[in-house]
């Protein structure tokens, strides 16, 4: 297409195609007798028009001398922004990703006034319709021999692409001619999900919540430690779409000691900062688990996500610092929870054991909150990721009326067939008065407002129901 035939002055606009994520963009081209000018890539305008903020790292140009030069069909594990600097092409795209649209085809012509966003795993090919055609593409990853590629034969009968110039009459590389038919193509899998801290209480619940999903990997701290210096090269991170960080230093009292303070900052801040850099650089969604300890507990209402943080102790300070770091990641979910109960040693199991042994425990009654069981946290995390909820911070706890720790203890006694009156309520000051080791300050009010996550379609289970089921299973 000659320059004079370009459609000058078009508005920037987008058109969806039958292939999910494959989007055509009309580009404004401004011209006069001297030639023309366009903004081939303008992040602010194009993301506002609906282009994913895909973070290109490389710009390539393929110059084609003759009409009929034909290339493809190649599907790479990265996104592309494809456009034409000079000349004109017939483009053909085939969905080679796992899923219901595998094999779907879309074709159109591109000239300098039209571009297309090609998502990861969609096969890309073209045929030049004018001599001296400069085909350009931005990509958001560097080529790697370790990446997973897929290819389709240009003449595949199932795709049945109607090439303007018959393939027998054009220039094609021997490699492209040898690509497989659709029935023999290896589909590109979705980006992987990595769960860190998979041996912990929450990690074990996440194994259950994500266990039926394809492409989910689980790593214990022994297998992948976020505090290690080589974290940035520990994986090919561009292959991951989500990292769920269930690895943290949660020993709140130990964090008040000299060694514990160091460990808490290393795991909850330094390691989180390393994950945040990886997630930002590779377009990964980072899921980070936070805590009610970022608040001082002095409010007389449930805490909302946007309330100012005022941590009282070292653990709370490290969690607040980690939250601030994660909030800088473009794609992030900060899941703030409280009073967590999972497998292994915990408050509920301790109370059940004391009830069975005939003890009369003294339990704190001036701290209020809601129990949150790890399967509920895992269910909420999966809901946020799968539903595509807006990124940001979400409170996630058990639902229902707030209780004190003494109330919880009495309910454990009752549910296990023991007299709840054997539990005596005391203040936190009284309870810790005889402690010989450092004790972390606790927020008196740990109740978190659940309106924001409820608005995404997640209904938190009443803590009382989860407690009854937990005890029925545990005993």
Average pLDDT over residues 314-319: 98
Task: Give the pLDDT score at 304.
Answer: 98
Whether residues 409 and 298 fall in one domain: yes
Answer yes or no: is pLDDT of 143 > 90: no
Are residue 205 and residue 113 in the same domain, yes or no?
A: no
User: 345-398: per-residue pLDDT in tens?
Assistant: 999 999 999 999 999 999 999 999 999 999 999 999 999 999 999 999 999 999
Residues 6+ apart with CB under 8 A from 45: 12, 39
221/157 same-domain check: no
At 145, the pLDDT band (50, 70, 90 cuts) reads: confident
Domain boundary among the residues 162, 184, 206 is at 184
389 and 249 co-located in one domain: yes
Looking up residue 268, the CATH number of its domain turns out to be 3.40.50.720
Q: What is the pLDDT of residue 144?
A: 79
Name the band, by pLDDT with cuts 50, 70 and 90, for residue 475.
Answer: low
**Using CA atoms, how far apart are residues 357 and 350, in angstroms rounded to an integer?**
11
What pLDDT sits at residue 1?
A: 40
Q: What is the count of structural domains for the chain?
A: 2
Cα 87 to Cα 134: distance, rounded to the nearest angstrom: 7
Over residues 318-331, the pLDDT tens digits come to: 999 999 999 999 99
Q: Characterize 355-394 residue by residue with b for buried, 16 or more Cβ atoms within 10 angstroms of its Cβ, and e for exposed.
A: beeeeeeebbbbbbbbbbbbbbbbbbbbbbbeeebebebb
Do 105 and 237 have their domain in common? no
Task: Kindly state whether residues 170 and 287 are assigned to the same domain.
Answer: no
Q: Are residues 144 and 96 in the same domain?
A: yes
Interval 404-421 mean pLDDT: 97
Q: Of 124, 159, 184, which residue sits at a domain end? A: 184
We report the CATH number of the domain holding residue 70 as: 2.60.120.10
Expressed as residue numbers, the domain containing 69 is 3-184
Please check whether residues 68 and 212 belong to one and the same domain.
Answer: no
Report the C-alpha gap between 230 and 103 in whole angstroms: 39
Helix, coil or strand: residue 20: coil
List active site positions.
Answer: 74, 137
Sequence length of the chain is 475
State percent of the chain over pLDDT 90.
87
Residue 5 confidence (pLDDT) above 80: no
pLDDT at 213: 82
- Tokens read off for 424: 């005596």
Domain boundary among 184, 210, 227: 184
Give tens-digit pLDDT for 194-220.
999 999 999 999 999 998 788 999 999
**Could you tell me the CA-to-CA distances from 62 to 112, 253, 318 in Å, in that order?**
14, 61, 50
Tokens for 348? Answer: 């509920």
- Six-digit token string for 337: 């929870």
Provide the 3-class DSSP secondary structure of residue 125.
Answer: strand
158 and 307 share one domain: no
Same domain? 13 vs 88: yes
pLDDT digits (tens, 9 = 90+) for 71-129: 989 999 899 999 999 999 999 999 999 999 999 999 999 999 999 999 999 999 999 99
Output the average pLDDT for the chain: 94
The mean pLDDT of 149-169, rounded to a whole number, is 95
Query: What is the mean predicted confidence (pLDDT) over 243-255?
Result: 95
pLDDT of residue 178: 93
Percentage of the chain lying above the pLDDT 70 cut? 98
Q: Looking at the structure, do residues 147 and 213 belong to the same domain, yes or no? A: no
Name the strand (E) or helix (H) holding 13. strand 13-16
Judge if 224 and 338 occupy the same domain.
yes
């Amino acid at each position: 297409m000659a320059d004079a035939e370009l459609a000058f002055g078009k508005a920037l606009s987008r058109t969806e195609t039958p292939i999910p994520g494959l989007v055509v963009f009309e580009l404004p081209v401004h011209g006069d007798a001297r030639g023309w000018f366009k903004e081939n890539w303008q992040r602010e305008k194009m993301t506002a028009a609906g282009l994913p903020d895909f973070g290109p790292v490389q710009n390539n140009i393929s110059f084609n001398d003759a009409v009929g030069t034909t290339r493809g069909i190649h599907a790479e594990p990265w996104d592309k922004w494809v456009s034409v600097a000079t000349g004109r092409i017939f483009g053909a795209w085939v969905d080679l990703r796992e899923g219901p649209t595998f094999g779907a085809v879309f074709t159109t012509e591109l000239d300098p006034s039209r571009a297309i966003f090609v998502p990861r795993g969609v096969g890309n090919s073209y045929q030049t319709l004018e001599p001296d055609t400069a085909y350009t593409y931005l990509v958001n990853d560097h080529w790697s021999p370790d990446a997973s590629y897929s290819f389709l034969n240009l003449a595949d009968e199932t795709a049945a692409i109607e090439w303007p110039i018959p393939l027998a009459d054009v220039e094609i590389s021997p490699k492209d001619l040898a690509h497989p038919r659709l029935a023999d193509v290896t589909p590109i899998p979705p980006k992987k999900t990595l769960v860190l801290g998979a041996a912990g209480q929450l990690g074990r619940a996440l194994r259950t919540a994500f266990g039926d999903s394809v492409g989910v990997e689980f790593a214990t701290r022994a297998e992948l430690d976020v505090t290690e210096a080589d974290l940035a090269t520990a994986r090919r991170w561009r292959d991951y779409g989500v990292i769920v960080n269930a690895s943290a230093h949660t020993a709140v009292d130990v964090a008040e000691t000299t060694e514990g303070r160091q460990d808490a900052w290393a795991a909850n801040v330094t390691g989180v900062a390393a994950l945040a850099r990886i997630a930002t650089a590779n377009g990964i969604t980072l899921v980070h688990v936070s805590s009610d300890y970022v608040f001082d507990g002095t409010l007389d209402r449930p805490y909302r996500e946007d309330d100012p943080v005022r941590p009282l102790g070292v653990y709370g300070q490290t969690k607040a610092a980690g939250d601030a770091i994660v909030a800088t990641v473009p794609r992030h979910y900060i899941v703030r929870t409280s009073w967590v109960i999972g497998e292994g040693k915990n408050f509920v199991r301790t109370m059940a054991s004391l009830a069975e042994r005939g003890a009369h425990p003294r339990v704190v009654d001036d701290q209020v909150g809601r129990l949150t069981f790890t399967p509920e946290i895992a269910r909420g995390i999966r809901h946020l990721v799968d539903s595509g909820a807006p990124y940001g911070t979400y409170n996630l706890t058990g639902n229902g009326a707030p209780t004190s720790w003494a109330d919880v203890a009495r309910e454990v006694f009752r549910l296990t067939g023991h007299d709840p009156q054997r539990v005596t309520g005391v203040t936190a000051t009284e309870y810790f008065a005889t402690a010989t080791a450092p004790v972390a300050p606790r927020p008196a009010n740990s109740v978190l407002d659940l309106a924001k996550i409820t608005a995404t379609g997640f209904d938190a289970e009443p803590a009382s129901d989860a407690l009854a089921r937990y005890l029925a299973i545990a005993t």
